[in-house]
Amino acid sequence: MIRVLEKNISDKIAAGEVIERPVSIVKELLENSIDSGADTISVEIKNGGKTFIRVTDNGCGIEADQVETAFLRHATSKIETVADLTSISSLGFRGEALASVAAVTQTTLITRPEAEKTGRRLLINGSEVVENVPVGCPHGTTIIVTDLFYNTPARRQFLKSDSAESGMIIDLMSEMALAYTDIKIQFINNGNVLFATAGDSSLKKTIMTVYRQREYDDLADVDFTTPGFTVTGCISRPSLSRSTRRDQIFFVNGRIVKSKVIEKGLSEAYKERLFKGRYPVAFLFLETDPASVDVNIHPNKKEVRFHDDKAVELAVKEAVIDALGTKEAMAGAADYFIKQSNAEKAKDKPTPEQVDIKQILSSKRETSEVSDNIVKSERSVPQAEAAPQEMTSKSHILVEETKLKPFDFNNLTITGCIFDTYITAVDGEDFYMIDQHAAHERIFYEKLVGQYGADEKVRQMILTPFTVDVPLSVKENQYDWLDSLRDMGYLIEEFGPNSYIVKEIPDFMEISEAENFVKDYIENVSERDDLGNTVVIDKLITRSCKSAVKAHDHLSAAEIQALIDQLKLCRNPFSCPHGRPTFIRFSIYDIEKMFKRV
């Protein structure tokens, strides 16, 4: 027999999608406070939000005759028509949050619009209105939620420990504080004030207030505009990285999102600047036309779908590359040598009024690591006078030149070379050390990339051609991969019903490498992305490493000058292909601090 479920049953079922755990409630209530126009918000939790959550704001409040309507399912002030779904600018819009919260908790609402003299207090237990009375209160809204899942005890068993649930809420509150730096946001956990932001619109100050990590002082600013997109925020210099993406936080039109598209754009910008398996710290804000973003994917509203993924990826990539091209983003001496003194660390300890979030979570954030994993291989040292001739004869690099440099290479004055490894230079403001191997490796790498991407490929004929057998299904779709292999530098022809013969291979590959690459490429042809193929890139990096001058190879003054002249033509002169810096910058302050003059 088919029957319509009673309201209290259907409400509990619907609440399951919206309210999964305490952090879901905090998120929904906090978004409502922001949408109300509040400039001051206070959030308090106890026992990981399981027993008590209170959110107070000074927003517009709710009219007395609408307080009960606000708790009806799909009741919202954010949208009216279907057309509104195509251009959502508010954080909430589904009209499910308050109804879902009230269905599985005991909820108290206290609210007053600024124009009214008295407010209303509404008490709801499990979707049932218990009390609706007038009350004296400040303008704005306070919602108190207690006893989560009191009427669905089975769901309480799936909640984690108090500290784990608190950790999720702390992460959410931290992210929301960054997204709305113009709002004063206070967060209290078990009676302790974890943070209180100033609401002065300063992103860096808010980051320091929330995360309290000294290394975040040196984050590089991102401020980039391109048709259709504005990208702002802060990113780490290449000298600061993590082993996970935990410290990458993205916002789209003020909404916290998880986005593989933005992740990819960020990773592409840092490619060749970080070691494999390392990830930058990033707080990025993307503003775009709401009509070009679909946020109505899931009730948690963290998943978004862009109408043009490639355009978003490119905008993020260009914004980050632009920020990394500034002088402030260069690796500095302080990143590696100047350690924080115990006295300075003591100053940074939280006061009793502001409890250390890291202690609350009983976890440590990892520090940045810089390691040298460069490939080592034997190489014959060239004649001293032959090197500059080769460098100048092949100075043209078939890669787009960097639009923004951290300094003018023409202002560099070379002062010498120490240990036959590190070239020294000054530009009037700073002192630089340049790793000759890393610099020459970057030059060779970009030349090889230029050869790889050039119309005229450098090929090598092999004495004994090899054959490759492919499945008939791959043979049927040969136009998907055959031309790509030829573009890479292979001379490959049909050699039977499902076989191909390779007579020439790219100049930068050994025969065994070329054969393995062809087989791997054909097997995974649908996932390949031409130059982005990791196998090709690895071969180019290895080849450039083998070809470059090594540490302790003596270079004459003319050779050093030729090296610098070529380096300034590189697309990315800041790091070698492995991610090691080519330059280290020493400011006058850095040097004076080493000598304890300041």
CATH C-level class of 7-79+93-196: alpha beta
Helix ranges (H only) for 219-259 are: none
Domain with CATH 3.30.230.10 in the chain: 213-329
Enumerate the β-bridge partners of residue 144. 54, 108
Mapped onto helix, strand or coil, the DSSP state of residue 116 is coil
Burial 57-70 (b: 16+ CB within 10 A, else e): bbbbbbebeebbeb
Structure tokens at 467: 């054959």
To which residue do tokens 């100075």 refer?
Answer: 395
Residue 526 burial (CB count, 10 A): 8
pLDDT at 237: 86
Domain with CATH 3.30.1540.20 in the chain: 409-584
pLDDT at 393: 35
pLDDT at 13: 47
pLDDT at 142: 96
Q: Taking the model in full, what pTM does it have?
A: 0.61
Distance CA 102, CA 71 (A): 7
pLDDT at 30: 93
Name residues whose C-beta falls within 8 Å of residue 597's C-beta, 6 or more positions apart in sequence. Answer: none
CATH for the stretch 409-584: 3.30.1540.20
250: nearest Cα among 213, 288, 276, 217: 288
pLDDT at 561: 92
Distance CA 598, CA 593 (A): 5
CATH classification number, 213-329, choose in 1.10.3470.10, 3.90.650.10, 3.30.230.10, 2.60.40.10: 3.30.230.10
Distance CA 397, CA 450 (A): 6
Q: Side by side, which strands form the sheet with 184-189?
A: 128-135, 119-125, 106-112, 140-146, 52-57, 40-46, 184-189, 192-196
Domain with CATH 3.30.565.10 in the chain: 7-79+93-196
| HSE of 92, CA atoms in CB hemisphere, 13 A | 24
Would you write out the chain's pLDDT as a tens digit for each of its 598 residues? 666 556 555 554 444 455 888 998 999 899 889 988 999 999 999 999 999 999 999 999 999 988 888 888 766 655 455 554 454 555 654 557 788 888 889 999 999 999 999 999 999 998 889 999 999 999 999 999 999 988 888 888 889 989 889 989 998 999 999 999 999 999 999 999 999 999 999 999 999 999 877 778 888 899 999 999 999 999 998 888 888 888 899 999 888 888 899 999 999 898 878 877 788 999 999 999 888 888 755 555 567 889 899 999 999 999 998 888 777 777 666 665 544 444 344 444 444 444 444 444 443 333 333 333 323 333 333 333 333 333 333 333 334 444 455 567 888 899 999 999 999 999 878 899 999 999 998 888 887 777 666 767 778 999 999 998 887 767 777 776 788 788 778 899 988 887 899 999 887 677 887 887 787 777 665 444 443 455 566 666 776 777 788 889 999 999 999 999 989 888 888 888 887 888 888 888 888 888 888 8
pLDDT at 344: 43
Name residues whose C-beta falls within 8 Å of residue 293's C-beta, 6 or more positions apart in sequence. Answer: 252, 253, 304, 305, 306, 307
Structure tokens at 121: 């207090």
41: nearest Cα among 23, 59, 26: 59
Q: What is the DSSP letter of 84?
A: G
pLDDT at 528: 47
